[in-house]
Amino acid sequence: MEKIWLNEAFKGEVPNGFQGKVGWQSPSNIALVKYWGKHGKQLPQNPSISFTLSECCTETFIQYEKSEHLGFQFFFEGKENPAFGAKIEKFLLDNQAFFPFINQLNMKVESRNTFPHSSGIASSASSMSAFVMCLLDIEYWLARTERQRAGIFSVVPQKASYFSRLASGSACRSVYPKMALWGATEAYNGSSDEYAVPLENDIHPVFKTFRDSILIVSGEKKSVSSRAGHGLMEGNPYAPARYAQANENIKNLLTALKSGDLDTFINITESEALQLHALMMCSNPSFILMKPNTLHIIEEVRNFRNETQIPLCFTLDAGPNVHLLYPESEAKKVEKFIKSELVTYCNQGRWIADHVGDWPKLLV
Ligand code: PMV
């Protein structure tokens, strides 16, 4: 795949007067089978599957113009943010063989999230994929002679997924609607470690409108970056068993997603969330990423499910916040339950009503 994109790279001179603005909105995603552990150049140790979200997105704009060398400025929510800018600039420099034109451009990047500040929600998937969509859009304008889109989708999703992965692993799953699979598995034809593939056509309708209510237990920054977390898997004695189990979970989850088997879906989803946290607990150094209220919510959710038979389950990211997953048809009852029993465990009563979402959106 690398060779294909190297061959396709726009290697010409950026024309004088080349300038413009591109903008994309890209969604966050929540993994069901988790990616935790990597090797080589951002390659996953095991495959992962996620829901694409709808409300938790990043909007990114790049204003660009021809220049003698790379000029780069990054603004986040109106303020210059050199730390985040440096991360993106590093991604650009590391990948300049694919995008040689960046060395002839001045770029001003403006980015903002559609979800609230300090909600503890990881934004690297949405922000990195939004940035990559913009970058590929600039490349598209360079490679075209007539300056109109003629109704053509200007960014190739597989290419967007490939480069989003290089920017931040899980970002590669954000460029597809509904659900995505990242990582090679015998259980799915065409799957790859290098990019994610869309699952939209292989899932039961119940999953296409699934809800994700995100309960904000803490808005604090994560105590372990995902970079450090992936690194800790290298010395984790349980890593080989974990990777084998993840592969098994992928296989069984793919079957359950196809048939609409909610019991298996719940079983795998909750087990994966707890495994991710268990892996952190037995790393060296060890980390406890849940808070007491995370456990209170988990206990309430399991009791509620037993009592009502409503197929509500939870998943967790590498932090204390809880994602509640359930079919749209149960939304009224679950939201009533959240408001009456669970908001008390949320930081300032905060939660985000999200649901399964669509493709990244073109903004400009
Ligand atoms: O993409 P990263 O490097 O931020 O890692 C994401 C890891 C998890 O969110 C915990 C799991 C996943 O598959 O998204």
Ligand 1 pocket check: which of 45, 56, 129, 170 to mutate, most ligand atoms within 8 Å of Cβ?
A: 170
Angle at 323 between CA 169 and CA 50, to 5 degrees: 35
Q: What is the DSSP letter of 356?
A: B
Q: Whose CA is nearest to atom 9 of ligand 1?
A: 317
- Alpha carbon distance 155, 284 (integer Å): 42
Using the atom order of ligand 1, give the atom closest to the CA of residue 124.
4
Using the atom order of ligand 1, give the atom closest to the CA of residue 35.
13
- Alpha carbon distance 39, 43 (integer Å): 5
Using the atom order of ligand 1, give the atom closest to the CA of residue 227.
3
- pLDDT of res. 118: 67
Query: From the centroid of its chain, how far is CA 143?
Result: 28
DSSP class per residue in 222-274: PSS-HHHHHHHGGG-TTHHHHHHHHHHHHHHHHHHHHHT-HHHHHHHHHHHHH
- pLDDT of res. 116: 75
Q: Is 169 in the pocket of ligand 1 (CB under 6 A)?
A: yes
Residue of 62, 49, 72 whose CA lies nearest to 134:
62
* Gyration radius from the chain CA atoms: 21
Q: How far is the CA of 35 from the centre of ligand 1 (A)?
A: 6
The residue type of 291 is K
Using the atom order of ligand 1, give the atom closest to the CA of residue 169.
1
- pLDDT of res. 224: 86
Using the atom order of ligand 1, give the atom closest to the CA of residue 125.
1
- pLDDT of res. 214: 97
Q: Is 174 in the pocket of ligand 1 (CB under 6 A)?
A: no
> What residues contact residue 144 under an 8 Å CB cut-off, 6+ apart?
none
Q: How far is the CA of 229 from the centre of ligand 1 (A)?
A: 9
The residue type of 37 is G
Q: For each of the chain's 364 residues, which pLDDT tens digit applies?
A: 899 999 989 999 999 999 999 999 999 999 999 999 999 999 999 999 999 999 999 999 999 999 999 999 999 999 999 988 999 999 999 999 999 999 999 999 999 999 876 676 768 999 999 999 999 999 999 987 555 554 455 788 999 999 999 999 999 999 999 999 999 999 999 999 999 999 999 999 999 999 999 999 998 877 788 889 999 999 999 999 999 999 999 999 999 999 999 999 999 999 999 999 999 999 999 999 999 999 999 999 999 999 999 999 999 999 999 999 999 999 999 999 999 999 999 999 999 999 999 999 999 9
- pLDDT of res. 149: 53
Ligand 1 pocket check: which of 33, 35, 52, 289 to mutate, most ligand atoms within 8 Å of Cβ?
A: 35
With H, G, I as helix, E, B as strand and everything else as coil, classify residue 111.
strand
Q: Is 124 in the pocket of ligand 1 (CB under 6 A)?
A: yes
